[in-house]
Amino acid sequence: MPVRVSFAPALLQGSAGRGLATPVPTGAASFAVSGYAPQAVRRADPAALQTLTGEAMGTTWSVRLHNPDFRPLDEACQAIEAALALVVRQMSNWEAGSDISRFNRAEPGSWHALPPEFVTVLACALEWAQASGGAWDPTVGPLVDLWGFGPRAAKAQGAGIPDADALRRVRERVGYQRIVLDLAGRRALQPGAVHVDFSGIAKGYSVDLVAERLQALGHTDFLVEVGGELRACGQRPGNQPWRVAVASMADPSTPLALPLRDMAIATSGDHWHAFEQGGRRYSHTIDPRSGEPVAHGLTSVTVLHAECMQADALATVLTVLGPREGLDFAEQRGVAALLCERTAQGPAMAMTTAFAALLP
């Protein structure tokens, strides 16, 4: 997909004969060549904030880049697209030729060499699966499909309530403990019929990978967003923190504005993928312990962490655990989390001590 580049609002021209409030359209190249202003001025210049946008992984992405030297963005665009393509190539269950799809189809008892990025994500997934007592499980894929939310279900009958026998049979295939990961050798054992699903973590990892690639090119100040998950590095023009809005159920018209520096944010919830049957709402978030969609009133969880992969995984963990158990889990580990719940009395919010400390 083509990458689109846009610039912040026009500069205010201060030359003789024109007022300071006269907007003048500018092009990045012209100032890069002419040395428009000293570095200190350029760093506060709103035109130095450039936005790259595109599509990947079945969603959209954007990068807001503070580029005071107006460096050419060709390398940055290529790095972003390459990073996102890598995640799809390795971790997409929707791609038959991806590393994860090949692992899921592999013969029982076979070992598989895995790319380092895949190993990083799998290790993180297994770590949180164990810490949460299986509330989040990267082998939950067959249950996701059974309930009509996965790639195989999309090709079949779609969402619906499975019968008890089908649920029992599929649950026998789920269990993170069945995966043997050899970290040193960068390989994993396919015990047979295990279906790994990174949908609760891969998007967050893609944000981190884009940030890593931009930093390798020398960029220090930017905001990366992939499908709603974000990571802020450095600061925006004027030495100001990046600001992101987090929806507040208590007052939807007034979202919480969070200042972010070198921090990532991820949200999980049931707003987007669900179906209703028999008067009950069935969320796309599956509890691997029961084999069924979560039944509590938690509608969204927002987590802040230094790494977006960790924030993404934790948001999913807390969504499965629910409002009470999830809040306790996050509080005990010092996780910055905001939990929004649908109750009989109306919307309710709860936040951890770490999250409250980040509010302006």
Instruction: Look at residue 346 in the predicted model and tell me its pLDDT.
Output: 80
pLDDT at 145 exceeding the cut of 50: yes
Average pLDDT over residues 301-307: 97
Per cent of the chain over pLDDT 70 is: 78
Report which DSSP code applies to 74. Answer: H
Q: Could you read off the pLDDT of 17-32 as tens digits, one per residue?
A: 322 222 222 222 222 2
What is the sign, positive or negative, of the torsion defined by CA atoms of 127, 87, 294, 256? positive
The pLDDT value given to residue 343: 81
Q: Does pLDDT of 321 surpass 50?
A: yes
Q: Which pLDDT band, with edges at 50, 70 and 90, does 356 fall under?
A: very high
Question: Which pLDDT tens digit goes with each residue over 154-171?
Answer: 444 455 678 888 889 888
Residue 49: Cβ-neighbour burial (10 angstroms; 0-12, 13-18, 19+) = buried
CATH number of this structure's domain 241-360:
3.10.520.10
pLDDT at residue 268 is higher than 90: no
pLDDT of residue 179: 96
Q: What is the pLDDT of residues 70-113, one digit of tens each?
A: 889 999 999 999 999 999 999 998 899 999 999 999 999 999 99
d(CA 313, CA 138): 10
DSSP annotation of 46 = G
Residues 292 and 275: their CA atoms lie apart, in Å, by: 13
pLDDT of residue 199: 87
Confidence of residue 177 (pLDDT cuts 50, 70, 90): very high
pLDDT for 35 equals 31
Instruction: Average the pLDDT over each of 5-14, 120-129, 131-140, 334-343 and give the range with the smallest value.
Output: 5-14
| Range name among 26-35, 49-58, 288-297 with the lowest pLDDT average | 26-35
Position 30 scores a pLDDT of 26
> How much is the mean pLDDT over the chain?
83
Higher pLDDT, 80 or 284: 80
What is the model's pLDDT at position 151?
60
pLDDT of residue 31: 26
Q: What is the DSSP letter of 236?
A: B
The pLDDT score that the predictor gives to residue 282 is 58
pLDDT of amino acid 7: 47
Strand, helix or coil for residue 25 = coil
Sequence ranges of the domains in the chain? 4-91+204-235, 94-197, 241-360
Q: Which pLDDT score is estimated for 27?
A: 29
153 falls in which pLDDT band (50, 70, 90)? low
Contacts of 2 (CB under 8 A, 6+ apart): 54
Per-residue model confidence (pLDDT) at position 345: 83
Report the Cα 123 to chain-centroid distance in Å. Answer: 17
Q: Considering the domain 94-197 in this protein, what is its CATH number?
A: 1.10.3980.10
pLDDT of 337 > 60? The answer is yes
| Inter-residue contact 337 to 302 (CB < 8 Å) | yes
Relative to beta strand 11-12, strand 23-24 is antiparallel
Strands (E), the chain: 4-7, 11-12, 23-24, 49-56, 59-66, 110-113, 180-182, 187-190, 222-226, 229-233, 242-246, 256-260, 263-269, 274-277, 280-283, 286-287, 292-293, 298-305, 336-343, 346-351
Which among 186, 117, 167 has a CA at the least distance from the CA of 286? 167
The mean pLDDT value for 141-166 works out to 70
